[in-house]
């Protein structure tokens, strides 16, 4: 199987924040307690 990763650009480095967030331009609807997501470090919670 031939495959490769995308070459990461400098700005593509994973952000420090582990929690999903929305920029100021977006209105983040209030999340529920029992929702789940996976973050860029591969952690799902």
Q: List 44's β-bridge partners, or say none.
A: 38
CA distances from 10 to 2, 27, 34 (A): 25, 28, 34
Residue 18 CB, shortest distance to another protein, in Å, is: 7
CB of 40 to another protein, least distance (A): 5
- Does residue number 44 form part of the binding site for another protein (CB under 8 A)? yes
Instruction: Report the alpha-carbon distance of residue 29 to residue 6 in Å, rounded.
Output: 32
Which pair of tokens denotes residue 13? Answer: 């480095």
Q: Should residue 10 be labelled a site residue for another protein when binding is judged by CB under 8 A?
A: no
Binding residues for another protein (CB under 8 A): 1-6, 8, 11-12, 14-15, 17-23, 26-32, 34-40, 42-44
């Amino acid at each position: 199987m031939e495959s490769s990763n995308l070459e990461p650009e400098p700005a593509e480095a994973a952000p420090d924040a582990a929690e999903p967030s929305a920029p100021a331009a977006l209105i983040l609807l209030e999340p529920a307690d029992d929702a789940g997501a996976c973050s860029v470090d591969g952690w799902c919670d």
